[in-house]
Every structure is written in structure tokens, then in C-alpha cells.
Amino acid sequence: MNACRIVKVALSLSVVGCSLEVEPDPLSILESGRWVDLTHDLSDEALFWPTAEPFQLDTVFAGYAEGGYYYEAFSFRADEHGGTHLDAPIHFAEAGWRSHEIPLESLTGPAAVVDVSESAMVDRDYQVTMEDIENWEARHGTSVDGHILLLRTGYHEFWPDAEAYMGTALRGEEGVAELSFPGIHPATAEWLAGHRDVKAVGLDTPSLDYGRSTLFRTHRILFEQNIPGFENVANLNALPEAGAYVVALPTRIRGGSGGPLRIAAWLPE
């Protein structure tokens, strides 16, 4: 009988059949790299859907309290679907996850950044195609399965200019009728839902559907499969096409259909 035993010690070393192996440290990836914030500030400049109430921050108290110490506190009001935010599947799918039901596994993972900015900058109504994603897969020799799919249109650079970013600065239903910005083609959403297994889909525009959509088919298709959406994502130009790791943590609103999102990416060196 082999006298060697499998012994695991604190330094993640093991003895296997008399040979010494070093187990990889899962946290070692964080020893060298940097974080990139993919979140726009929530402020009175943040862009919201034309029919949504804009963000409002009200002062509760700011100054010196009776005890002589300095103190600040504020209250805020905001629509779920403004600024950098989450779309929970319930937003367009009756049986979809609500905000608090989305598992962390769907909100964290490797990023697949598909750059469609060359097409989107020429055509404000560009809709991301299946070929755009397949071209990424061909370049990187892997599918987008298991990734958070981020679509870079380049429109984040227009923020917070409503007319440049959304196609109009008009408010209300009049503004909705004038919206113009890139999104994801419903046929692409069908292909993703039926032939790929992505964790979530995000982009640097106000909506997964392009601005002129009236039926929001892309939302409906993805959300019926419980694929969450991230909208108004910032700084996608700072990410490589592959290699980043995304952490997207929305406000955990019980029963909500979305909410403010803090999203960041880790770039290992």
C-alpha cells in the first residue's frame, strides 16, 4: 500500500501519491490589475427615459449639529430605469425574476465586449446583429457562453447630452416619439436566447431595444429566458474585448423591476 497520503495545508499545497502539487490561489488574480468603473453618476444631469421622473436629491441636513459635530444626510427620488441601471426580467416578462431574485451568478462573470461603434456611429438606429457576436467568437476562439455580454456602441461618450445620446432632449410622450439610438436586433436576441447561454446583456445606450422600437421585442425575448439587462453602461471603451471580469450589483429592491446599478470591471495585468 502506498504510504503517501493526500494532505492539504494552509498554503494550498497538497501531497498526491508522493508528488508535491501547488493548488492555484483563486484570489491571486487580484494581486495585479485595476478596477474600471462602468457607472454614470446619479445626479440631476443623469439621463432618464423621457416619461420618467429625473433623479432628485434633497437635503435633510447639512451643517453643524447642536453637539458641535459636522453632519450631512439626504433623501433621494429616482425612477428604477434611469442612469446606469438594471432591467430585471420582470420588467417585460410576467414570470421573470424581480430585482431581488436575480442570483449573483448572473451579475458577475467574465466580460465579452463586442465593439459595434463603427457601425453605430454611422447609423443612430443600428441594431446589433448575430454576425457582430459571431465575429467576436471567431476572433477569440470561444463562444460568449458563460459571459456577461457587453455591447459597445460608443454612445457613452455623449453622456449627459440628451440630444446627442438619446436623439432628443424633449420630455414626455413627445420625447419618446423622437428617440433615436442603437440597440439589439430582436433576431439577435432570439439567437442569444436559443443558442447561447449568457449571464446578462448590457450596453452603453438607454435601452436594449433601439430607440425607435415600439414593441420592445428584444427586452421581451431576453427577459422570458431570465437574462437580465444593464443599460446606460459607462466607459466600455476602457475594456478589452476579452479578459475583464465584471461585478454588477444593483440596489436590491424587493419586488422591483430594476434599479440603480453599480457596475465595475477588474482588468488583471
Residue 67 belongs to a domain: no
Alpha carbons 134 and 193: distance in angstroms, whole number: 14
- Among 43, 40, 41, 73, residue whose Cα is nearest residue 56: 43
pTM as predicted: 0.89
Give the model's pLDDT for residue 95. Answer: 97
Per-residue pLDDT tens digits for 2-30: 444 433 434 444 444 555 556 667 677 67
Give the model's pLDDT for residue 269. Answer: 84
Host H or E run for residue 260: strand 258-268
Q: Which residues of the chain, if any, have pLDDT below 50?
A: 1-16
Domain with residue 155: its CATH number is 3.50.30.50
Residue 117 belongs to a domain: yes
Give the model's pLDDT for residue 32. Answer: 85
Residue 89 belongs to a domain: yes
Give the model's pLDDT for residue 26. Answer: 65
Give the model's pLDDT for residue 42. Answer: 97
DSSP string, 55-81: PEEEEEEEEE-TTS-EEEEEEEE--SS
Residue 64 belongs to a domain: no
Contact 83, 260 (CB under 8 A): yes
Q: By residue range, what is the domain housing residue 200?
A: 33-53+80-268
Q: Residue 160: is the preceding peptide bond cis (ω within 30°)?
A: yes
**Residue 108: what are its φ and ψ, rounded to 5°?**
-135, 145
- Among 11, 34, 41, residue whose Cα is nearest residue 261: 41
Which residue has 435601452 as its cell numbers?
207
Eight-state DSSP code of residue 41: P
Give the model's pLDDT for residue 6. Answer: 38
Residue 12 belongs to a domain: no
> For residue 80, what are the contacts with CB-CB under 8 A and spacing of at least 6?
99, 253, 256, 257, 258, 259, 260
Per-residue pLDDT tens digits for 206-243: 999 999 999 999 999 999 999 999 999 999 999 999 99
Per-residue pLDDT tens digits for 51-63: 999 999 999 999 9
Residue 25 belongs to a domain: no
Host H or E run for residue 151: strand 148-152
Give the model's pLDDT for residue 19. Answer: 53
Which residue has 439621463 as its cell numbers?
47
What total number of domains does the chain contain?
1
Largest CA distance in the chain: 82
